[in-house]
Amino acid sequence: MDDFPTYPSGLRLADRRVVVVGGGHVAQRRVPQLIAVGADVHLVSPEVTPAIEGLVGSGEVTWHERGFEDADLDETWYCIAATDDTAVNEQVSAAAEARRVFCVRADDGTKATAWTPATGRHDGVTVAVLCNREPQRSARIRDEILEEMREGTIAAPKQRERTAGVVLVGGGPGDPELISIAGRKALMDADVVVADRLAPRELLGDLGPDVELVDVAKLPRGRSAMQEEINRVIVERALAGKRVVRFKGGDNFVFGRGYEEILACREAGVPVTVIPGLTSPVAVPAAAGIPVTHRGVAHEFTVISGHIPPGHADSLTNWPAVAQLGGTLVLMMAVENAPRIAEALLAGGRSADTPVGVVCDGTMPGERTVLATLETLEARLAEEQVKPPAIIVVGDVVAVAHPAAFRGRVAGEGRTGAPSSGGRVAGEGRTGVSRP
Ligand code: SAH
């Protein structure tokens, strides 16, 4: 066309007809973005990818299952020619030109009347980057800008809308990379961060100097006294107009007393939102290469807190019933009571050679896995001097992950005569595994 630069503009396409011609991978990338901005998306193509078919099935796209006709662009605001047939794309371009509809060309940008920038959103800001038909460079620049926004290097803090309140943020199992983008953003936006011992601590190093950090590990001892103090602190700071992040390991609702904090906030009229975290009973075994379910092996997993031993008056767990389950058990806060729990499971009928994998300091630099059976668990924990935090996985999935250590335990596994030092599995790279 010409050598002029493009004129950037943010199109507001909600409820406006947008036509995508072609049903392949280019369309598959563009259509969700159009749906996200509320466009009335019409897709013209004799065939579509399964992913697009899914969007058609859920009613988010209207599919015209045939070849392109010029009249498809009547009453249209915007169109994308995304077929792999140059002649068809040419026809779409011409029909668009005649109707003064801006048209993107997937095959040849020089013939298009509009270009799609590399885009991303963060914190209510849309970033759109257009280099001169160098899509990879655009994408890289877009990524760098978004990354810096997430890190807070680009933040324009004075312009940001900041509403006071409490955000419960789940920090994931320990590795600072495993927090969600939303969680990270809430941290960067906080005026006050109330952090637990198990919350990924490295992330606290990124907080600005003016952010108040309340370390829960340093609050008065005793479970209820401490919780009351936390409730008091978050409510008081929020009422003073601050943005408070309650920062925990894993997910705040999984043995995290998160809902007690929600109730305290509600009672005080403080707005509170929740950002879920990757919870350790699922994430820690996963990182250590132990699947909590496996086809043909375990069709259920049951997560239990072991902080109260079986038989204790305060116990809410029906241990005899748990012992009857055939699937995976994931025990948390259970290092101290593990011998009593193993005893209860054996008494209830689980077999003595049931595989057990204890993952200590999951996703953190010192991560290691101690293998045992229900019978040897107590001795193995003592031998290996296992200390919390640890996740204890009980069941045949442990043998799936470590076939050489539990030979013959799972049908078809562990009988290959592999040397007992073999059997590397996903996640084992940083894990010291010690055999039962
Ligand atoms: N809210 C947290 C759990 C808090 S209870 C979550 O959703 O994950 C604390 C227990 O979680 C610990 O005793 C331990 O059993 C488990 N845990 C948490 N992080 C862990 C980690 N990185 N490695 C092993 N176990 C972990």
pLDDT value at 121 more than 60: yes
Phi and psi at residue 340, in whole multiples of 5°? -65, -35
3-state secondary structure (DSSP) of residue 277: coil
Both tokens of 184, joined, read 């990270």
For 25, residues 6+ apart whose C-beta sits below 8 A from its C-beta are 49
H or E, element range at 223 = helix 223-239
Distance 240 CA to ligand 1 centre (A): 32
> Please, which residues bridge with residue 169 across strands?
247, 275
| Mean pLDDT calculated for residue range 24-32 | 92
Q: Poorest-confidence range of 149-158, 183-192, 228-237? A: 149-158
Q: Is the preceding omega at residue 419 within 30 degrees of 0, hence cis?
A: no
What pLDDT is recorded for position 230? Answer: 93
Task: From 251, 369, 391, 393, give the residue whose CB has the most ligand 1 atoms within 8 Å, as the site to mutate.
Answer: 391
pLDDT value at 245 more than 70: yes
Cβ atoms of 235 and 264 closer than 8 Å: yes
Distance 273 CA to ligand 1 centre (A): 22
Give pLDDT tens digits for 162-216: 688 999 999 999 999 999 999 998 998 999 999 998 899 889 888 888 999 998 8
Distance 249 CA to ligand 1 centre (A): 7
pLDDT value at 422 more than 70: no
In the chain, where are the structural domains located?
17-116, 121-151, 160-278, 282-434
Residue nearest to ligand 1 atom 9, measured at CA? 333
Give pLDDT tens digits for 30-49: 999 999 999 999 999 999 99
Q: Which of 375, 381, 373, 390 is nearest to 431 (CA)?
A: 390
CB distance 336 to ligand 1 below 6 Å:
no
Both tokens of 281, joined, read 């009973």
What pLDDT is recorded for position 291? Answer: 98
Q: What is the mean pLDDT of the chain?
A: 90
Cβ atoms of 123 and 147 closer than 8 Å: no
Distance CA 256, CA 259 (A): 8
Distance CA 171, CA 150 (A): 15
| Mean pLDDT calculated for residue range 412-427 | 40
CB distance 414 to ligand 1 below 6 Å:
no
Better-predicted residue by pLDDT, 224 or 18: 18
Distance 388 CA to ligand 1 centre (A): 8
What pLDDT is recorded for position 425? Answer: 45
pLDDT value at 418 more than 80: no
Phi and psi at residue 426, in whole multiples of 5°? -55, 135
**Which CATH superfamily, name and number, covers 160-278?**
Tetrapyrrole methylase, N-terminal domain (3.40.1010.10)
- CATH match for 17-116 among 3.90.1150.10, 3.40.50.720, 1.10.357.10, 3.30.930.10: 3.40.50.720
Cβ atoms of 327 and 300 closer than 8 Å: yes
What pLDDT is recorded for position 66? Answer: 97
pLDDT band at 5 (very low <50, low <70, confident <90, very high): confident
CB distance 68 to ligand 1 below 6 Å:
no
CB distance 284 to ligand 1 below 6 Å:
yes
What pLDDT is recorded for position 264? Answer: 97
- The total of other beta-carbon atoms located within 10 Å of residue 314's CB is 7
Distance CA 232, CA 390 (A): 30
Domain 17-116 and domain 160-278 have a common topology: no
Phi and psi at residue 119, in whole multiples of 5°? -125, 160
CATH architecture of the domain with range 282-434: 2-Layer Sandwich (3.30)
H or E, element range at 141 = helix 135-151
Both tokens of 53, joined, read 């078919």
What pLDDT is recorded for position 267? Answer: 97
Distance CA 323, CA 348 (A): 5
Give pLDDT tens digits for 303-347: 999 999 999 999 999 999 999 999 999 999 999 999 999 999 999
CB distance 366 to ligand 1 below 6 Å:
no
From the number of C-beta atoms within 10 Å of its C-beta (0-12, 13-18, 19+), residue 376 rates as middle
CB distance 248 to ligand 1 below 6 Å:
yes
Cβ atoms of 397 and 289 closer than 8 Å: no
